[in-house]
Amino acid sequence: MKKILFLICVFTGFCLNANEITEDKTHITYQTWIISDHDLLETILSPYTISEFSDLLFKEGIELQISYNNPIKSKKVLELPKNNHLINPTLFEETIFENSFIKICMPLKPLTEHHLMIVSKTSKKKISEMEETEAFELFKTIQKIGFILKNTFGYPGFVISRSNQNPNHCNIIPSFHKNFEVRDALEKAQVNKETLFPMAIIANNPNDFSKEKISEMVCEWQSALANFDNIPVIEEMKNEDLEYAWKMITTNNDSAKYFSIDCIFNSLTNLGIGITKNIHKPFQPIDDNVVTYHKGCVFCKKEIINYQKCFEYNGIIILYNHTSPSPRHHFMVIPKRHVKNVEELTDNELKTIHLLETILLKILEEKVGHSEIRLFVQNDAPSVGQTVPHFHDKIVVIHNENDDCEAILFSIFTLKYIQNSIAKVSPDEMKCITMDIQTELEKRFLLD
């Protein structure tokens, strides 16, 4: 008798069962997966058991019908493959600019138009090994690239992505879909894939640029950098009222759900699980815009800062993120003053951010061993996922040594985030984590 597990397919409002495919008014794909290896699935889902994981998802209203060809457990110990770090997912095509510290390159396969990679000329094993002069040069270069993206190419926002996996590379990824005034949930899911689990082969590149197009973009960037001082500035309206009312428009929620489900399926396949997938209903997303209204900047509110703050020094604050796919290891580094984007940070703020991030990274490296640590900024636009209009550099520990495993767990987090069902850290746990990190930071700060 086949064991049934209800796992992953997003739905709202209807319950589908094994024998009945009901007309689904939300138009979310309903699928059946037949899994070939129960034991391997349980290994991949660790530290959860299949039963615990199923119960967790069922409570969140996330369902997919799964059955097994071999439901009987064996006693063998299964080991998952680790990432092949000899494979570099960010190979560069052509050098645009270089100095004694860095090179600006166009990736071999850009994810978007004007996707750039900044390559450090000094080889580091970890981001925490970067010297202040190198970090300062990196962020001054990012500021210059941000200025050009906005004022020459018309991109108001971009993602800054770094990783201990490739500590000498920094990716600058502009918007995929150019919905600049809209928070695109699908784009956020796609960018999360590239920043948080780049080794997972879970989706095709949404863009496929010809060599001619890449060469054209390289020439455009060489010209823009050569004429940097003559680029006209696009004036922006700035609101100095930190309690101002603002609205956020979100689109492509349904498409993001489908993308997340597809991520899970492909990652399970990559990890060696044979799956027969039966699609009972074609995917027809309803991607109407969702408008939410907000008042003020949450990172300028004293009650938020006091609740989540781990450490503060020289106008820079380390916060613990109260909603996280990485338990106990998801932090944000922000300026105390209201700063929307990386381009507005002062030289002193840049240096202090590097100082605090270096100390925090060393602490995390000791706590999590060989786990990956990834840093990313959703800079200055809802189109790249920024939900708070205040610069914040996210530091996330990736506990799995295989990006496909991480892709599965983070895709679940994405589904729950879309449904607004993420459990927040309790006040007691928040106090415990912030005080623990504060003690470590104070100790290291005195030493460094």
pLDDT tens profile 310-329 = 999 999 999 998 776 655 68
117 burial level (CB within 10 Å; 0-12, 13-18, 19+): buried
Q: What is the pLDDT of residue 80?
A: 56
Residue with tokens 């609101």: 239
Contact 9, 28 (CB under 8 A): yes
Query: Under DSSP, is residue 51 helix (H, G, I), strand (E, B) or coil?
Result: helix
123 burial level (CB within 10 Å; 0-12, 13-18, 19+): exposed
How far is residue 191's CA from residue 207's CA, in Å, rounded to a whole number?
Answer: 13
Its pTM stands at: 0.82
Spans of all domains in the chain: 4-76+254-279, 92-252+287-447
Q: What is the pLDDT of residue 255?
A: 80
Q: What is the pLDDT of residue 224?
A: 96
Q: What is the pLDDT of residue 400?
A: 65
> What are the CA-CA distances from residue 60 to residues 281, 403, 407, 418 (Å)?
22, 24, 19, 11
Contact 334, 298 (CB under 8 A): no
The secondary structure element, H or E, covering residue 145 is: helix 132-151
Structure confidence by residue, pLDDT tens digits, 348-376: 999 999 999 999 999 998 888 777 888 99
Q: What is the pLDDT of residue 194?
A: 75
Exposed e or buried b for every residue in 367-405, given b needs 16+ CB within 10 A?
Answer: ebeebbbbbbbbbbbbbbbbebbbbbbbbbbbbbebbbb
The secondary structure element, H or E, covering residue 276 is: strand 275-279
Pair of tokens at residue 301 = 């509110």
At the fourth CATH level, the homologous superfamily of domain 92-252+287-447 is HIT-like (3.30.428.10)
Write out residues in the chain with pLDDT < 70, as ranges: 1-30, 47-48, 52-64, 70-93, 177-179, 198-207, 235-246, 280-285, 287, 324-328, 400-401, 418-423, 446-448
Q: What is the pLDDT of residue 1?
A: 38
Residue 374 neighbours by CB under 8 Å, 6+ apart? 161, 162, 163, 164, 165, 195, 196, 395, 396, 398
CB count, 10 Å around CB of 300? 17
Q: What is the pLDDT of residue 445?
A: 76
Contact 57, 317 (CB under 8 A): no
Q: What is the pLDDT of residue 258?
A: 77
Pair of tokens at residue 241 = 């009222």
Signed CA dihedral, 88, 89, 95, 98: sign only: negative
